[in-house]
Structure 1
Amino acid sequence: MSDFDYDLFVIGAGSGGTRAARVSAAHGAKVAVAEEYRVGGTCVIRGCVPKKLLVYGAHFAEDLRDARHFGWDVPDDCAFSWPRLRDNVMKEVDRINTAYTTTIESSGAEIIHQRATVSGPNEVTLADGTRKTARTILIAVGAHPSIPECPGHEHGITSNEAFHLDSVPKRILIAGAGYIANEFAGIFHQLGAHVILMNRTKEILRGYDLQIRDRLLQISMMKGLEFRFDAAFQGIDKGEDGCLTVHMSNHEPVTVDLVMFATGRKPNTYGLGLETAGVELDDHGAIKVDDDNRSTCASIYAVGDVTNRIQLTPIAIREGQAFADNMYGGKSTKVDYDCVPSAVFSHPPLAGVGMTEAEARQKLGSVKVYSSDFRPMKNVLAGRDERALYKMVCDGETDRVVGIHMIGPDVPEIIQSAAVAVKAGLTKAQFDATVALHPTMAEELVLLK
C-alpha cells in the first residue's frame, strides 16, 4: 500500500495541469487536481479562447463595411450589441469549462475545487486546512497580469476584467505593446472605441520580425489608433465624472474612460509555499526547472507559464504530456522549443515561426531574404489599401528556410502549415517546386522573390 494519499497531486487545472493529470491517470497513477477558480485556466477562462471570439466579433465591423462592395446591402447604421457578444462568449467559456472538467473526471483523476499550497516536499495544504500527501507534486498554476506601480493604478483594469465590461468605452488607453495590448487595441478600435497605445520603449511586439511589426504599426496608425512611445506612467487621476487622466513621461496627459494594463504577466508563485520544499525561483518569480520539468526539489515538478519559458498554451500542453509520459508512461520525452510558431490576432493579424531576419543575420551571417508585398484580392475589391507582407528567411549557404514571417488576413491559419516545413528543414527550392494553389494568399509562399 502506498505511503501517500496520491501518486500525483497537481496544483492548477489549466491547459498544462489538465493534460498532465488526465494522461498520468490514464497511465495508472492515482491523481488529484486542485483548482481554486475554474477548470480550464487562463486560455479557456480569461485568455486566448474568449479573446479570439472577441476578435471574430470585432472583425465583422470591417467585414460588414466591405460587404457593400460585394453586392450586399448593409445599412450604414448597422447596430452592435456588446452585451450580446460578451454574454455569448461567456456561454462558450462555460461550455469549455464543463468539457475540461468532464475530461479530467473521465480519466479517473479527482478534482478538488480549492486552493492548494505546498507545505512540504510531498505535502499540500488545502484552503479548508486539510493536508494531502503525494509522491510527486506538479505545479501548473500559470501566471497573472502585471500591474505597474504608479499612483492611481487601482483605477485601471487588466485583460481579466476586459471580458466582463458593461459597455465598450468611448476612449481607452492600453498600456503595453505586446500581443495582448495589440490584440485588445484592435478589438476595441473595431467596436468603436478611440484607442491609445502607450509603451515605455520605442517599439511594439519585441521578438517579432521588424518589418512585420512596422507594417502593423503603419496600418494601425492609418486606421486611427494613437501611440505614445517612451512613455512611463507617472500617475492616474480619476475625475468626478469618472474619467481617468493619465500622466506619463515625455507626453502630455490624456483623458480616457478606461485604462487597461497589458504590461506582461508574472508567474503565480507568490504565497504558494514553495520555500517549504526548497523550490527555487528565478529573478522573475518563475520556478526553475530542468529539461524534465523537475524543480530544485526532487519530488516537485512544474509546467506551463509558471516556469516562464514560452508562455503559450500548446507549450504548456506539451510539457504536461511529456511530464506524464516520462513519469508514468515509461517513455523518455523532452519538449523541443525550437521553431515554435506564434501569432498575434491583431487587425490584421501577424504570425511567425523560426528566426527573424535580424536573428538569422546574427547567428548565420550569410542570409537570403525573399518577400512578397501585395494587396489581398478581397482588399482590392473592397477598396481597402491595406497590404499584406510575407517574408522568408533562408540560410545563405544551404538554402534552408530558417524563418517565415507574415502579416495579413488569415496568416495565423497559414503559418501552421508553414511551420511544419520550417521544422522539417526544407529549402527554398522545395518551396519553389511546389505548385501554387490559385487564387489564394497562401500561394505567395511558393512564389516569393
Structure 2
Amino acid sequence: MPTQIYRSALLRFADDGSPLYDSDGLLAVAPDAHGQQRVLAAGSWQALQAQFVGLPGAQVVHLPGKLLAPGFVDMHIHYPQTDVIGAPADGLLPWLEHYTFPHEARFHDRAYADGVAEFFIDELLRNGVTTALTFATSHPASVDAILTAAQQRGMRMIAGKVLQDRHSPDGVRDDTEQGLIDTDTLIQRWHGVDRLGYAITPRFAPTSSEAQLRGAGALAAQYPDVWVHSHASENLDEIRWVRELYPQARSYLDVYHGFGLMRERAVYAHCIWLDAADRALLRETGTAAAISPTSNLFLSSGYFDYLQADAAGFRYGLASDVGGGMSFSPFRTMQAAYVVGREQHSKQGLSLKPGQLWWQHTAGAARALGLEGVIGNLQRGCEADFVVINPACTPLLARKTQQAASLDELLFAMIVLGDDRLIEQTIVSQAK
C-alpha cells in the first residue's frame, strides 16, 4: 500500500499522558517490511506537509471538520455477554446466576460462538474500539471463534478460555486438568499470531479451585509474554465469599499473588475495594487494574478510588465490561468515569480532566496492557489504528463543539454528549 497522508484535526498523547492537538494536522501512515501499517509522522500540517506530501505515490486524504484520534482500547470486556447487556439483576452474584451462566453455556457450539463473535467485533469497530482484552467462555471453541473473527479483520485482540472448575453450573464448569491442558493448547495455537494475544483467564477466585489457580500460575510462569486476566475486589458479597474460601490469604488480590498470577501483563477488572497493601502489591508486581465505571454503577458495586491509585502509582485504564457494563461506547465509559470520579472524591474536589479520561481509554490503557508505543497512540512507530471523529454528528454536538474555546472544552463536549454516532470511520492497521 502507498503512503497515506491524512489532513485533519489531530489528537495524540505525549509520553507523560498529556494530550497533543493540532487543529490542522497531518498523519502519515505506511506499511513496514511485514505489511503492518504504522505511523510515519504526526503533527501540524504546516510543519510536515513539505516533507511528506511530495513522497512518490503518496495519497492525500483531506477530512475538513473531522478529528483523527487513536483507536480506543477496551481493557476488560466479555464477548459472550453481548446478549446479556441490559439484563436486570439485584447485584453481581444474582446476575451471574440468572443471566450470565445460562447464556455462556451456549458457547460450546462453534457456529453459535462464531455468530456472536462477528457481531461483537462489528460493534467494537462501530464504536471506535480497535483493541480489546476479552473473556471468552470455558469452551475452547469460544476462543477459536473470537480470535478467528479478529484475525479476519486484522484487529489486535487478546482473549482466553475461562477457567472455572467449581461453584459453577453444568454447561460452564470445566475440568481442572483438562481446562489447563486446553489453555496450553490455545496459547500455542493463537498467542503471537498476527495481531492476536492470549490471556490466561480464571473467571474469579471463587470459581477456581486451588489446583486450578496453581496450574494457571504455572502456565503464567511458563509463558511470561501472555496476559493474565481476571476479576478482583468488585463487590462486597464477593469479597466475603473469597475470604471464606481462602482464609489464609491476606486479601482478595493476595489470593492471586499466592498462585503467581500477579505480574507484568496481568490485568484485574474493577479493583474497587482495595487497601494500601493491595495498591502497593499492584505497583510492585506491575499488575494493572481495568476500571469499569458503567458496570460498577449498574451493579451498585462501588467506586474506583483514583486518588489512592495515583498516590500508589499502579497502572490502570478504562474498560466497558459489557455485558455488566451498559454500553460498548468509549464515550459512555468516559462519561461514567467522570461522574464516578466526582462522586468518589467530591470532598477533595477531584475533577478528571477530559484529556486524562481520553488517555485512560487509549494510550494509558495501552501502557497498562504492556503495549505502550504499539497501540493507543499516534506517535511515530505506532500501529496505525485510528478513528475519524465527526464532532458535528448531532445538532447539539455541532452547536457545542463549534463554541469550544479550548481543547478541554472540545473533548469534554464529546465525552458528555457523545456516543457511537461520533465515530465516522474506524481504521485498523492490518485491515484485510
Interval containing the TM-score (normalised by the shorter chain) = under 0.3
Q: Which has the larger helix fraction?
A: 2
Q: TM-score, normalised by structure 1?
A: 0.23
Q: TM-score, normalised by structure 2?
A: 0.24
Structure with greater contact order relative to length (CA < 8 Å, sep ≥ 6): 2
